Amino acid sequence: MERNTQLVGQSSSFLDAVERASRAAPLDRPVLVIGERGTGKELIAERLHHLSSRWDGPLVVMNCAALPETLIEAELFGHEAGSFTGATKSRAGRFEEADGGTLFLDELATLSQAAQDRLLRAVEYGEVTRIGASKPMRVDVRIVAATNADLPLLAAESRFRADLLDRLSFEVITLPPLRHRSSDIPVLADHFARKMAMELEWPAWPGFSANALNRMLSYNWPGNVRELRNVIERAVYRWESPESPIDSVQFDPFESPWRPLEQAPAIGGTAESSPSVQILPPAQPSPYDPEHCADFRLAIAEYEKAILAAALEKCRWNQRAAATALQLSYDQLRHAMKRHQLMA
C-alpha cells in the first residue's frame, strides 16, 4: 500500500493523533485506529508501518467489508487445494503474505464471529492454519486495524469478541473529524489545490477568494478530508480564469437543476413497483403556450430565458455555478444573460 497522499494539518487534535502514532510505531504491539470515513486511517497505518522496525517488510492490506463472509477466512488464513468448492490449488492467506511485516485490517467490525475466533488465536499465539490444513504455521505479523464503529459497544452487545478487542487495543488512536479541525481546512485546501493546479499546468496558483474560504469553513464535511480533496480538485479544474482567485466551490457534485426527480410510491405499493409515478413540482405558469404557438422564434427565446432564470435561481445567482450546471462556459452564460436582459 503506497500512496502519494501526505498527512497535512496543524490543529492540535490532529497533531496529537499523529504524535501518538509516531510513539506507538516502534513498539511491536497491535494498534487500533478509529475514525469517521475519510479521516485518514489508512495514512496512520502507513505511518505505523514505516516508522517501525518492520519498515522494509511487507505492508499488506485487507478490507474486511469488501469480501463476503464465506471468503474472509480463506483470504486471511489461506486454504489448501480441495478444501472447498472452487479451491483448485493451495493459496497463502494475508497473514502469510505479511510475515515479517504489518497486516492492516480495515473495517475490522465487519469480521464474522468465526473469523474473529481464528484472528484471536493468530494474534495470541502467532499461529495460523490454512483452511483444510491439519497443522498450524508460525507467522511474525504486526496487526494494525481500523474501523469507524464503536467496538466497546459492539463487545458489550456480544457482536464483537471482547477478548479480541482487549488484545488489539494496546494503543487506540482516534482521529478527529474535519469539522473539529477548522484551522486545517485552509491548509488542506491550499495543499490539494496547488497539486491540482500543477497537474493542469497553471502558470501560478491564484489562491481562493475570501467567499470561497468562508464557505469551506462553514461546511460540515461529512466525508472529511477525502471529500475536501474531491471538492477542491473539482473547483480548480472547473475554474476558467487561472489568473484570478477561485470563487466557486460546489460541495455536491450531483447538484443540478435537472437532477432526476424522486419517485413516489403507488397507493398500496412501493416506488420500485410503480416506476412511472413521480413526485412533480407545483405547476408553474409557462412563458408561452406551446399548443397555440404563433411565433416559433419567440417561443424558443422565452423557453431559453426560462431555463437560464431557473438555473440562476437554483444556484442563487452564482453565475459560475449556473454556467457549470448548464454545461456552458462562463462567457457563454454571460452572453446569454445579456441577450435575454437577465444581467443584474
Select from 176, 193, 211 the last residue of a domain.
176
- What is the structure's pLDDT at 188? 97
Range of the domain at 335: 290-339
Whether residue 265 is contained in a domain is answered as no
Select from 145, 160, 176 the last residue of a domain.
176
Mean pLDDT of 176-189: 96
Domain count, the chain: 3
DSSP state letters, 123-163: HHHSEE--BT-SS-EE---EEEEEESS-HHHHHHTTSS-HH
- Domain of 198, CATH number, reads 1.10.8.60
Distance CA 37, CA 224 (A): 7
Within this chain, do residues 204 and 300 fall inside the same structural domain, yes or no? no
The model's pLDDT over 283-325, given as tens digits with 9 standing for 90+, comes to 444 555 555 555 677 777 788 888 888 888 888 788 888 888 8
Within this chain, do residues 166 and 221 fall inside the same structural domain, yes or no? no
What is the largest distance, in Å, between two alpha-carbon atoms of the chain?
Answer: 88
Whether residue 37 is contained in a domain is answered as yes
Within this chain, do residues 51 and 107 fall inside the same structural domain, yes or no? yes
- What is the structure's pLDDT at 14? 96
Whether residue 326 is contained in a domain is answered as yes
Distance of CA 163 to the CA centre of its chain: 31
Residue 22 belongs to what H/E stretch?
helix 12-24
Distance CA 287, CA 338 (A): 19
Within this chain, do residues 193 and 333 fall inside the same structural domain, yes or no? no
Within this chain, do residues 205 and 326 fall inside the same structural domain, yes or no? no
- Domain of 114, CATH number, reads 3.40.50.300
Please say if the pLDDT value at position 269 is more than 90: no
Please say if the pLDDT value at position 159 is more than 90: yes
Within this chain, do residues 168 and 197 fall inside the same structural domain, yes or no? no
Within this chain, do residues 164 and 107 fall inside the same structural domain, yes or no? yes
* Cβ-proximal residues to 239 (8 Å cutoff; 6+ apart), any chain: 246, 248, 320
Within this chain, do residues 167 and 25 fall inside the same structural domain, yes or no? yes
Within this chain, do residues 197 and 322 fall inside the same structural domain, yes or no? no
To the nearest whole percent, how much of the chain has pLDDT over 70? 87
Please say if the pLDDT value at position 2 is more than 60: no
| Helix intervals (H) in 239-329 | 296-314, 319-325
Whether residue 3 is contained in a domain is answered as no
The model's pLDDT over 246-259, given as tens digits with 9 standing for 90+, comes to 999 999 998 877 77
Within this chain, do residues 188 and 300 fall inside the same structural domain, yes or no? no
Query: Phi, psi (5° rounding) for residue 137?
Result: -130, 150
Whether residue 56 is contained in a domain is answered as yes
Whether residue 73 contacts residue 117, with contact meaning beta carbons closer than 8 Å, is answered with no
Torsion of Cα atoms, 181 then 193 then 40 then 29, to 10°: -100
Please say if the pLDDT value at position 160 is more than 90: yes
In one-letter notation, the amino acid at residue 141 is: V
Whether residue 44 is contained in a domain is answered as yes
Whether residue 280 is contained in a domain is answered as no
Residue 331 belongs to what H/E stretch?
helix 330-339
Select from 131, 161, 176 the last residue of a domain.
176
The pTM of the full predicted model, rounded to 2 decimals, is 0.73
137-138/127-128 β-pairing: antiparallel
Residue with the three cell numbers 483470504: 75
| Helix intervals (H) in 25-133 | 41-50, 69-77, 94-97, 113-125
Inter-helix orientation angle 113-125/69-77, to 10°: 20
The model's pLDDT over 89-116, given as tens digits with 9 standing for 90+, comes to 888 889 999 999 999 999 999 998 988 9
Whether residue 299 is contained in a domain is answered as yes
DSSP state letters, 281-298: PPP---SS-GGG-S-HHH
Lowest mean pLDDT among 6-15, 76-85, 199-208, 305-314: 76-85
Within this chain, do residues 188 and 137 fall inside the same structural domain, yes or no? no
